[in-house]
Amino acid sequence: MGRHVQVEVLDVAAVDQMAGKVEAAAARQEMSDEVRLWREENPAIETHSHGFSFAVVGETLMYLHTAPDGMIIPHASYPDGTEKVYTDHLHAEAAYG
């Protein structure tokens, strides 16, 4: 299964708010079991190598990674192999041209 990346450009405040929600969900006590189960059910799905704060939201594995300048970037991995990256315009241009 191939990985298909989609970039969702949001304003910085929206990216920060989303990152906070992912962090809060990842901190829930039962979340490590939910993430483990999601990964077992979707073994072909790879996440960013520097990902952290993993959380399952519905059918989606959400997680964060840190951009080189320190901005926290939310990601969403879907069972079909789609990866959505939520970032601001500046980071989208720098990473994806």
Instruction: Locate the domains of the chain by residue range.
Output: 4-96
Given a cut of 50, whether residue 1 has pLDDT beyond it is no
DSSP E strands, 1-97 = 4-9, 52-57, 60-66, 72-77, 82-87
Q: What is the pTM of this model?
A: 0.90
Percent of the chain, pLDDT > 70? Answer: 95
What distance, in Å, lies between the first and last C-alpha atoms of the chain? 25
pLDDT computed for residue 94 by the predictor = 76
